[in-house]
Amino acid sequence: MLWHAVDMISSRLRNASIFLGFGLGFLPVSPAQSLPSHKTENVVLVMIDGMRWQEVFRGADPALIETLGPEALGDAKERTAHAKALYWRSSADDRRAALMPFLWSVVAQQGQLFGNRDLGSDSHVVNGLNFSYPGYSETLTGFADPRVHSNDNIPNPNATVFEWLNGRPAFRGKVGAFGAWDVFQGIFNRQRCGFPVNAGYEPFTAIPATPELTLLNDLKKETVRIWPDEAFDPMPFHTAIEYLKAAQPRVLFIGLGETDDWAHAGAYPAYLDAAHLADQYLGQLWQLLQSMPQYRGKTTLIVLPDHGRGNGAKWTSHGKDIPESQQTWMAFLGPDTPALGERKQEAPAVTESEVAATLAALLGEDYHAAVPKSGAPIQAVLGANAPRP
């Protein structure tokens, strides 16, 4: 039923494009006459703050691997040796597999990865600002809003797709968001959204305590705080895992932040460690999901950053004055997403503004019809218009 409107719209668009003489190359695809019955019943969205596509697709950068950042982080020789042993390999393919083994052994085999510019695949943000709040907001609401132009922890004027889903009976009370950065309180508009948002160093008390939650809450209180607004990534990740096990949400957000923080500090080995840990978490998460009847074979994992970073010496930074920091990447893994692996230039460009409607469409919900200014769903990951490999 929900797809009816989409069918009509896409049918009109198709007729219009044929009438105008466009899209002849697409004719065999026959999009969305009836969108396929989706298998996805749950979605987990993991965002890795400021993680560059360059490391995702090329692994550790030979020009940066000895860029250690603050001396306080430890002995230079030891840190260089550590980074090289873990992440240095002679080929880019081996380097990326060493850095993000889950992404390259599982997602690249069974899902799809966008954004390898070396192969002509384009993924980017459209907000023009290339920093965090606008990037998260674009991804979660499906559009860029000029009112969202700072990283201040203020309530988002717009509802996210998470809030929209939580307003629908099938998802009400089955949504949660966990992030290292305390500004997720504002991005998800915690006062209004109606589901748990746990961010930064705050204890999580919305579900009955478990020994693990109690320990996590203690660690948030007691661990040294390098960044006043951002906890180390193990805090939000493991808190989210406790919530997942206890509440079995259908829609879950996990926001990791250390990649961005270590990059701003100019500490390349620590940035790589944070990326490697994020990949390890994706693997742990996927394994856990496949072990639970609520999730096994019916859960889609979406992974992306909120912005890119500069090239060369500008790798530490991002923003509107660093145009290449609009460049991002995206990964999709789940029962509806055709296993097309690493996408190349024939795949259409994807933008972060398309993720909200894609996430909803995977769940059979038409967010794009409800919020027309949101980007349209990425057909290639829905199994509808998948080009032949």
And the tokens for 48?
A: 């890795």
Least distance from Zn ion to the Cβ atom of residue 50, Å: 5
Residue 17's alpha-carbon distances to 245, 346, 350, in angstroms, are: 47, 19, 20
Question: Which residues in 191-230 contact Zn ion (CB under 5 A)?
Answer: none
Residue with tokens 């007691």: 222
Least distance from Zn ion to the Cβ atom of residue 131, Å: 6
Beta carbon nearer to Zn ion, 136 or 143? 136
Q: What is the rounded CA–CA span in Å between residue 359 and residue 211? A: 33
Least distance from Zn ion to the Cβ atom of residue 264, Å: 6
Residue with tokens 């990059």: 263
Q: What is the rounded CA–CA span in Å between residue 305 and residue 34? A: 32
Beta bridge partners of 45: 253, 302
Least distance from Zn ion to the Cβ atom of residue 260, Å: 4
Q: What is the rounded CA–CA span in Å between residue 276 and residue 274? A: 5
What's 13-50 look like in SS3?
HHHHHHHCCCCHHHHHHCCCCCCCCCCCCEEEEEEECC
Beta carbon nearer to Zn ion, 129 or 161? 129
Q: Which stretch, 7-15, 252-260, 327-335, 351-359, contacts Zn ion (CB under 5 A)?
A: 252-260
Beta carbon nearer to Zn ion, 50 or 305? 50
And the tokens for 369?
A: 């019809």
Q: Which stretch, 13-21, 106-114, 237-245, 256-264, contacts Zn ion (CB under 5 A)?
A: 256-264
Work out the angle at residue 354's Cα, subtended by the Cα atoms of residues 381 and 175, and round it to the nearest 5 degrees. Answer: 85
Answer for the pair 237, 118: CB distance below 8 angstroms, yes or no: no
| Residue length of the chain | 389
- Following CA atoms 282, 198, 269, 152 in sequence, which dihedral angle do they give, to the nearest 10 degrees? 130
And the tokens for 197?
A: 């948002």
Least distance from Zn ion to the Cβ atom of residue 47, Å: 13
Please give the single-letter amino acid code of residue 55: E
Beta carbon nearer to Zn ion, 163 or 260? 260
- For Zn ion, the nearest residue by Cβ is 260
Least distance from Zn ion to the Cβ atom of residue 59, Å: 21
Question: Which residues in 272-331 contact Zn ion (CB under 5 A)?
Answer: none
Beta carbon nearer to Zn ion, 220 or 318? 318
Out of 230, 233, 260, 352, the residue judged to bind Zn ion by CB under 5 A: 260
Beta carbon nearer to Zn ion, 123 or 259? 259
Number of residues that bind Zn ion (CB under 5 A): 2
Least distance from Zn ion to the Cβ atom of residue 272, Å: 16
Least distance from Zn ion to the Cβ atom of residue 318, Å: 6
The answer to whether 261 contacts Zn ion (rule: CB under 5 A) is: no
Beta carbon nearer to Zn ion, 130 or 300? 130
Beta carbon nearer to Zn ion, 166 or 326? 326
Please give the single-letter amino acid code of residue 340: L
Question: Which residues in 38-57 contact Zn ion (CB under 5 A)?
Answer: 50
Residues near Zn ion, by CB under 5 A = 50, 260
